[in-house]
Structure 1
């Protein structure tokens, strides 16, 4: 849930951007956004939801090569093979989408353009 909902702030299209980022992080990690990365309980509190975002951000911005950082984040279903550069861009975009400050989030148009730009680089 975007911070705007929690703090009863005006709702804009940036709420959808936040939700998109959470869904991408859920798909990439294979973890529910409603539980922490090591907690399989179903505590629906706001802090638990933001635990996944915080965990991915810490791992992604941590030490080591981008490959080793992504290996810590990527869920078991995707571990068998993924394009490191594309996954890096996907996680970067997702993390931008879940910024607390709505003005720091991209628009959905910017998200699509960034993802398409990197897809086109492969051709």
Structure 2
């Protein structure tokens, strides 16, 4: 039986694949994206014209921003929640956003383990 909250459930639940600890990694990645962007995974996101699309997906929106501006750090600036303002380290936010996107990979084998995510976060904390 599928259990979970819409927007946080890994694709394995939908496709009835074996459930592993990687479903928790996926959910963590969604929460991290929500914290960075200030947007809910189940709410709409703004399109290029600034109009909110009610069926837009947060993960898709962030990936598109990264792909559009991959060569520049400004892709992160475009996704950061307005309440964070300019009070952040762009390199740390880029690492967090990239880690979140790694966590929400469709293919569970491509996702990091939670141990790897924690080690990354500890390195970020120790380096700052």
Map of 2:107 onto structure 1 = 101
Q: In the aligned structure 1, how far is the partner of 2:58 from the partner of 2:97? A: 13
Q: How does 1:25-104 map to 2 (within 5 A)?
A: 25-38=33-46, 39=52, 41=54, 48=55, 51-63=57-69, 65-66=72-73, 68-104=74-110
TM-score by length of structure 2 reads 0.82
The corresponding residue for 2:6 is: none
State how many pairs are aligned. 114
Identify unmatched segments of 5+ residues in structure 1. 42-47
Task: Flag structure 2 segments of 5+ consecutive residues without an equivalent.
Answer: 1-8, 47-51
Does 1:110 find its partner at 2:107? no
TM-score (norm 1): 0.85
Q: Which secondary structure state, in structure 1, belongs to the residue aligned with residue 77 of structure 2? A: helix
Matched position secondary structure for 1:80 = coil
Give me the CA root mean square deviation.
1.6
Q: Is the 1:29–1:75 contact (alpha carbons within 8 Å) kept by the matching residues of 2? A: yes
